[in-house]
């Protein structure tokens, strides 16, 4: 399966989430074989991350958006969990502070964008300002409706500075969400995640669906594409995202820089030091 072609939303597309099956999967794979495939992709991703860090000329930004219990934490753990923390950073955007609200809505986002050589993962993102803000009328439509273009301009500027952007919407059904809420209730180690808003926000399911559709349709570009990932089956979700990230990183044409020292001279010094060390051990 060509995961990029299958799940990418192209500029000009007008997707409707009701038309997309959140339980879609690869019929040739089962849960166990998918986990094996994800493990291989993790190892390849780790290798590519090392190359990206060594090259130090570009960066990768991964944006994760989903309904409550959509699986953002699971993706971070299962797909990106093995990446080197030295050059991988996860930022979770919660309700903005008073300091953040005193600035433009992109101010707090700017500070968390990846440095050259770094992979940054956003657990929620600047898209909250055309999602929850819209659904709950936190600012007038006159304001939030202009943010789609502001977001496109922001992402275009990041891309112009060699930040490669991948945006994933984790598409789950309303029924699957309720099952996941129940699993939290039944698991004492996960009950801390439960909040009153988990259930009250379900009343706005259709409003959120419309907001997600507009955000995806209006802000998918060649430079910063959206991918709608069927996510009722967690194992397929992880596999699809891992495939897309690895394929995109491989397509960057990363070039490891040449050594800044004389390798032959360094080998000579190593050989001399090793010889001296061996002689010293024999004398003991």
Tens digit of each residue's pLDDT (9 = 90 or more) over 250-262: 999 998 888 877 7
User: In which band, very low, low, confident or very high, does the pLDDT at 264 lie, cut at 50, 70 and 90?
Assistant: confident
Q: What is the mean pLDDT of residues 138-154?
A: 97
Q: What is the CA radius of gyration of the chain?
A: 22
- pLDDT at position 244 is 98
- Is the pLDDT reported for residue 282 higher than 90? no
Tell me, what CATH number does 88's domain have?
Answer: 3.40.50.300
Q: Which of 112, 154, 125 is nearest to 212 (CA)?
A: 125
Domain count, the chain: 1
Residue 278 in tokens:
């061996």
Label the pairing between strands 88-92 and 119-123.
parallel
- Is the pLDDT reported for residue 120 higher than 80? yes
Average model confidence (pLDDT) for the chain?
94
Q: What is the mean pLDDT of residues 129-145?
A: 97
How far, in Å, CA of 251 to CA of 109, rounded?
26
Is the model more confident about 272 or about 58? 58
- pLDDT at position 189 is 85
The percent of residues in the chain predicted with pLDDT above 70, rounded, is: 99
- pLDDT at position 117 is 97
Residue 50 in tokens:
């090392």
HSE on the CB side for 158, CA within 13 Å?
27
The pTM of this model reads 0.92
- Is the pLDDT reported for residue 15 higher than 90? yes
Instruction: Give Cα separations from 211 to 52, 141, 218 (angstroms).
Output: 34, 12, 11
User: What pLDDT, in 10s, does the model give residues 198-254?
Assistant: 888 999 999 999 999 999 999 999 999 999 999 999 999 999 999 999 999 999 999
**Residue 36's domain spans which residues?**
3-283
Long-range Cβ contact pairs of 43-46 (< 8 A, separation 24 or more): 43/82, 44/246, 45/79, 45/80, 45/82, 45/83, 45/242, 45/245, 45/246, 45/249, 46/82, 46/83, 46/84
- Is the pLDDT reported for residue 283 higher than 90? no
Scanning 168-204, the segments in alpha helix (DSSP H) are: 174-186, 196-200
């Amino acid at each position: 399966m060509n995961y990029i072609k299958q799940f990418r939303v192209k500029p000009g597309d007008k997707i409707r989430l009701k038309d997309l099956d959140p339980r879609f999967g690869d019929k040739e794979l089962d849960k166990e074989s998918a986990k094996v495939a994800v493990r291989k992709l993790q190892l390849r991703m780790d290798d590519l991350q090392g190359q990206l860090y060594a090259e130090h000329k570009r960066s990768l930004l991964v944006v994760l958006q989903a309904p409550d219990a959509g699986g953002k934490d699971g993706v971070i753990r299962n797909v990106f969990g093995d990446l080197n923390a030295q050059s991988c950073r996860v930022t979770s955007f919660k309700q903005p502070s008073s300091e953040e609200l005193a600035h433009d809505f992109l101010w707090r986002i700017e500070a968390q964008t990846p440095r050259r050589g770094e992979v940054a993962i956003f657990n929620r993102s600047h898209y909250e300002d055309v999602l929850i803000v819209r659904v709950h009328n936190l600012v007038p439509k006159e304001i939030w409706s202009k943010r789609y273009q502001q977001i496109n301009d922001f992402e275009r500027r990041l891309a112009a500075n060699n930040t490669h952007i991948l945006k994933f919407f984790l598409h789950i059904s309303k029924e699957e969400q309720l099952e996941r809420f129940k699993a939290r209730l039944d698991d004492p180690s996960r009950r801390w995640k439960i909040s009153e808003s988990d259930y009250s926000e379900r009343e706005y399911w259709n409003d959120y669906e419309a907001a997600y559709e507009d955000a995806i349709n209006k802000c998918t570009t060649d430079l910063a594409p959206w991918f709608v990932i069927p996510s009722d089956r967690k194992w397929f979700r992880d596999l699809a995202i891992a495939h897309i990230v690895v394929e995109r990183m491989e397509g960057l044409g990363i070039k490891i820089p040449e050594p800044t020292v004389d390798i032959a001279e360094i080998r000579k010094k190593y050989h001399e030091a090793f010889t001296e060390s061996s002689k010293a051990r024999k004398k003991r």
